[in-house]
């Protein structure tokens, strides 16, 4: 995890300069014909959903495989200079059980694993114009986040009805891009790796809608 955070922060140090700021602002302004409220659109809201893949787990000698599930979520964010965005995010993930082997008690194909995540994210939208790229409505980004997970696992067979809850520190990394459809609205596509505790690793692919709030 430390290596991922260092790789994420190193390019930020380079672009955190007056020159980088000017290039980024210029990139933002060149992508819209109507920039009258552009500098006022610091706050935004985002809703998203997608498919979630939960890796196999082995807990107390209970081995579990999962079907592909889903993730839905929403966030409120603030756009700063240098392409940096700060977000507060809530996400709900749910995967049904493909097969769970109970230690000494048979197996089950009935049950699910669900997670509620509360995250603080830092995103960086790459300044393509400073790298000589032509201006477009596409804005790629990378990001990381830390937070807290509330998890629940349920499985059962003819002899056992198993319930277990956990509360864990969690972290995630992400990458994707936004596509501007209006001056203050974007479509976002992203990939996230989310780990809640040392045992629960999630890979998700999502699509969402971003609305930027413009002051009246």
How many domains would you assign to the chain? 1
**Which tens digits make up the pLDDT trace of 89-126?**
999 999 999 888 766 666 777 889 999 999 999 999 98
- Structural domain span for residue 190: 2-212
Largest CA distance in the chain: 68
Domain of 116: which CATH number? Answer: 2.40.160.20
Each residue's pLDDT tens digit, 143-201: 999 999 999 998 877 677 778 899 999 999 999 999 999 889 999 999 999 999 888 99
C-alpha closest to that of 89 among 168, 32, 170: 170
Contact 97, 110 (CB under 8 A): yes
């Amino acid at each position: 995890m430390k290596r991922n955070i260092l790789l994420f922060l190193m390019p930020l140090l380079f672009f955190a300069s007056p020159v980088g700021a000017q290039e980024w602002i210029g990139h933002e302004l060149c992508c819209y014909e109507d920039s009258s409220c552009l500098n006022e659109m610091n706050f935004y809201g985002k809703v998203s959903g997608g498919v979630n893949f939960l890796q196999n787990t082995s807990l107390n000698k209970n081995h579990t495989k999962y079907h592909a599930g889903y993730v839905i979520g929403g966030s409120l964010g603030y756009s700063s200079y240098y392409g940096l965005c700060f977000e507060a995010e809530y996400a709900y993930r749910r995967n049904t059980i493909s097969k769970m082997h109970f230690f000494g008690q048979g197996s089950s194909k009935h049950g699910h694993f669900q997670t509620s995540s509360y995250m603080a994210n830092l995103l960086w939208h790459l300044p393509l114009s400073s790298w000589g790229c032509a201006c477009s409505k596409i804005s790629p980004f990378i990001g990381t986040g830390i937070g807290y997970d509330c998890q629940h696992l349920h499985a059962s067979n003819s002899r056992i009805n198993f319930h277990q809850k956990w509360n864990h520190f969690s972290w995630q990394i992400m990458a994707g891009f936004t596509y501007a459809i209006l001056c203050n609205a974007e479509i976002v596509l992203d990939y996230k790796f989310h780990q809640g505790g040392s045992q629960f690793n999630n890979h998700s692919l999502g699509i969402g809608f971003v609305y930027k709030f413009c002051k009246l």
